Structure 1
């Protein structure tokens, strides 16, 4: 990791009580090979609400997704799955069950900066390892490159993937450095594919080049299938976290999928991601553990937006937010609502649900199902949604969600209403920000002390500010803010991520 060292600078509720015994619905399966289910969590990257066939995309936009659609037909398809505006914040929220600002990770991690998952955070992998699981991550971590933040030091028994502080376009630094006459380093000194076992230092495997990027996901699949096969033989339950590259720019498909879609390399990449999901599902069936495994497929945030033309793409390299406004980096609905499917044959009824479900909710939900313990010394913002998953309906256990960017609390969702507290500059997509927040007939220049409120159900493009008409909505919205503020008395946040104010 010489290149990292070379460029690094010198310098909603309180904790949910953990389940102390195996849940009744698990006890009923005591005759099975194992009482704790395996967990396979496949996290897509920058897949929008409107990209997958089961969510209105797929074949209709030139890139069919039959295997994810199949998964959705066999499990619980969440239609109000909410995340954070970008990848690092969402991944921090997933791993800790907490708002990313509580970890100081409310902006995207950048190599060479000090932003890293704190050593004292309790991750999903640590919780499940404590419950008897063998844990592995193959892919993208993106929660900082400090040693204490790396996955093998945060609860995972095995790690293979790109540098833990980096994202999928890291290989471009060598070419960009040469183009700008600022860096002149050989590939072996640039970003590397790395691996590590629990508690070990990272070991470089090979340079992370453009060629490697094209095929990296199939390496992750090979590692994942081998890991599941080994754990099947050992008889231990496993947690496999597979954060794949599809559909993160640059969407350079492998040769097998080049030209597979009708919409350029984004569509090719989406179809490749679908095939990856299918391969993992087939492996579960071949290993005979399909019925013993919870499978989650989800995206970390909304899609890369309009104008995203990268690495010589023949079409804009962008996904679809479906009916919602905004994309990756915005704070509007299209950035934080995306696809998620949960399957557990014989346990989770196949259906769709409009219940509000946050990416943070997986931690307490899995703790309940696996008999794991949650920390009691810190706020846990995720809520246990096991009744929603294992029941036959229900509205879920969540009715609000806060959204942060850096140090700012920018918005709150309460039921179908979204309130904004600040006007922000347009994001990467150009569809959000001040244009979005202005509303019809309203000034985007100033808030004048009042939040702007939109009804997502009647106005998914967030064009009509109804804050004055529906001022009673501000009561429960501000109550949610006050509840969050109370948690800061006992557990203040670390300094928020910031790269512009010193």
Structure 2
């Protein structure tokens, strides 16, 4: 073969390889690490970390390399936030505006379209390893809601489920043998759940590293196959009971919570290291976020000598409340060479990930139902530093209890002592708290000047009620064509 022809043939072959590689990289991998009950002030990049006796160097590194959101807003507790993340919709639209409890009928509806379904349709391999907590009904399980692979605790349970066997023995109410209690489970797409092993206290201590192993294996397989992946890694840290693995027991200076936080930081670091080793760091979006604020004061479980709780930083509230400390927490997004490292005060909801990922991954947002998430890709890519969100509603069960517009928050139910202790401007939202109706006018707080929500400015700033109630009106208008299913409720029949 003449030399010129050989050169041309090589160039064509090289061009084909480069084109294929570029085509693979045009859809970024997505690694979403969802922490559990980490407060706004726990992580070093948000004012905690070493200052609180529990260093978080790997999360801090991620924050330095990516977009650190300082106004990342979620729902008050586990299930509602996870439903909002997966659907891009307020959790009440799925009937999941309370924490799912095993044995109850509340479950993600079969007709919901999840982020995993959207990304799988866009050509992604999808996996979840960890906690689903969107109900145990077969149609709600992750392998039937868009995920190719699932490994973790039972889909209707949370991390303390292993305690039921001991609690049953202690109260002499039920005697559950180990093989009939909660199990670690797994499933492939469309298959029934398979029991792997009993979920015991010992398994609880090491479960996160099992999740890491599954995640690493999944990323390696998809990278070798040249297929973009969505890996959803909802880890246990720092959900009570914070039982650290042996390697991290005593690692911090603040007891089990601090040990657990440092273990979570190491998990993030392990996943980042694998991305680098695989050579896909630049082609991967990494998100680290928490589902809600931390457990409140007085939390002391499993004999720990310190309260098993985090901190909300400057804000009032805790897990299960609806004040700022419950629904504002940490979130960092890194995409090397695409997202400019910086801090942003733009309002960003956990629901916004759905349409944002759809935009950057070439997915489709459903147009047959209300989508409450907003495409924030311009914010991520630095084309609009203000973001596109100005308002957010907060629900508990069937009730709309609060609304944010810019820096103002209005409450539609009067406050009562919640998990954050007496005297707080907290409302409700977890198991064991409540809210009383108000007399016609909401209470209004300026979160920026009054992060503890101590001074009701509703009378002085009455003009704020217009845009606040506008946000409510816009939501109500969507219910005409798309009414919500019955809201979760375990007290009114």
Which structure 2 residues correspond to residues 326-365 of structure 1 after superposition, within 5 A?
A: 326-365=317-356
Correspondences of 1:14-29 after superposition (within 5 Å)? none
Instruction: From 151, 156, 171, give the equivalent of 2:147.
Output: 156
Corresponding residue to 1:421 among 379, 399, 412: 412
Give the corresponding residue for 1:31: 22
| Matching residue of 2:273 | 282
Superposition deviation, residue 212 in structure 1 = 0.1
Q: Which of 84, 92, 112 is the matching residue for 1:101?
A: 92
Q: CA deviation at 1:113?
A: 0.3
User: What are the superposed Cα offsets for residues 405-459 of structure 1, whole Å, 9 maximum, x if unpaired?
Assistant: 000000001000000000244322326766679xxxxxx9762200000000000
Matched, 1:465 2:456: yes
CA contact (8 A) 1:326 1:431 kept: no
Are 1:326 and 1:432, in contact at CA under 8 Å, matched by a contact in 2?
no
CA distance in 1, matches of 2:58, 2:488: 38
Q: Following the alignment from structure 2 to structure 1, what is the Cα–Cα distance between the partners of residues 458 and 56?
A: 39
What is the match of residue 130 of structure 2? 139
SS in structure 2 at match of 1:165 = coil
Q: TM-score, normalised by structure 1?
A: 0.92
Query: Deviations along 1:347-406, whole A, 9 cap, x unmatched?
Result: 000000000000000000000000101111100000000000001551101000000000
Hey, what does 1:307 align to over in structure 2?
298
Say whether the 8 Å CA contact 1:325–1:431 is kept in structure 2: no
Question: What is the DSSP-based 3-state SS (H/G/I as helix, E as strand, rest coil) of the residue aligned with 2:118?
Answer: helix
Do the aligned partners of 1:379 and 1:487 also contact (CA within 8 Å) in 2? yes
State the SS of the aligned residue for 1:477.
helix
Partner of 2:233: 242
Gaps of 5+ in 1: 1-27, 438-443
Higher gyration radius (CA): 2
SS in 2 for 1:221: helix
TM superposition outliers: structure 1 runs of 4+ over 4 Å: 431-437
- Structure 2 stretches of 5 or more lacking a match? 1-18, 429-434
Contact 1:325 1:432 in 2 (8 A): no
Deviations 1:120-146 (A, max 9, x none): 000000000000000000000000000
Q: Name the structure 2 match of 1:489.
A: 480
SS in structure 1 opposite 2:414? Answer: coil
Counterpart Cα distance in 2 of 1:393 and 1:229: 35
Distance 1:234 1:130, change over 3 A: same
1:7-406 equivalence runs, <5 A: 31=22, 33-391=24-382, 394-406=385-397
**Superimposed CA distance per residue, residues 5-34 of structure 1 (whole angstroms, 9 cap, x where no aligned partner):** xxxxxxxxxxxxxxxxxxxxxxx9983642
Query: How far apart are the structure 2 equivalents of 1:226 and 1:300?
Result: 25
Whether 1:412 and 2:415 are equivalent positions in the alignment is: no
Partners of 1:388 and 1:395 within 8 A in 2: yes
Identify which range, 485-494 or 419-428, moves more after superposition. 419-428
CA 1:446–1:144 in structure 2 vs 1: closer, same or farther (change >3 Å)? Answer: closer
CA–CA distance in 2 between the matches of 1:30 and 1:233?
Answer: 12
| Aligned equivalents of 1:174, 1:395: Cα separation in 2 | 50
Normalising by structure 2, report the TM-score. Answer: 0.93
Q: Secondary structure at the match of 2:25?
A: coil
Deviations 1:457-482 (A, max 9, x none): 00000000000000000000000000
Cα 1:396–1:435 change in 2 (3 A) is: closer
Aligned residue for 1:170, secondary structure, equals helix
Shift of 1:210: 0.1
